[in-house]
Amino acid sequence: MAKVAALSLFFLLLSFISGGTSMMVNGQKTWCVAKPSSDQATLLANINYACSQVDCRVLQRGCPCFSPDNLMNHASIAMNLYYQSKGRNTWNCDFKGSGLIVVTNPSYATCIYE
């Protein structure tokens, strides 16, 4: 039995090392948000990049995720849209070190993080 457990642990670690960690952390869904320490230029670059790759219409004025209207909020939403659309791989939330994978759903009011 211990041999089976050790083998399972080995394959889990191998999966982690080879980049196979995606979608879930300990069975929980994950989201990508901007690190609070990110500067304004980085946040803007992240919005521009993510929104060039995915549909960011939810960030437009009058849409569910427009408010609060600030770069931190908009970058987090754009980064998460990108992260979710690319398969929730850790590298899809890197954004040059400015992304943070979280296990707590960041949705608020009518702005639903998928």
Q: Which CATH number fits domain 22-102: 3.40.50.2000, 1.20.58.1040, 3.30.160.60, 3.20.20.60?
A: 1.20.58.1040
Segment (H or E) for 84: helix 71-85
pTM over 0.85, yes/no = no
User: What are the structural domain ranges in the chain?
Assistant: 22-102
pLDDT score recorded for residue 27: 73
d(CA 26, CA 68): 31
Phi-psi region of 30 (alpha: psi -120 to 50; beta: other; left: phi over 0): beta
Helices 40-53 and 71-85: crossing angle in degrees, nearest 10, is 40
pLDDT digits (tens, 9 = 90+) for 73-109: 999 999 999 999 999 999 999 999 999 999 999 999 9
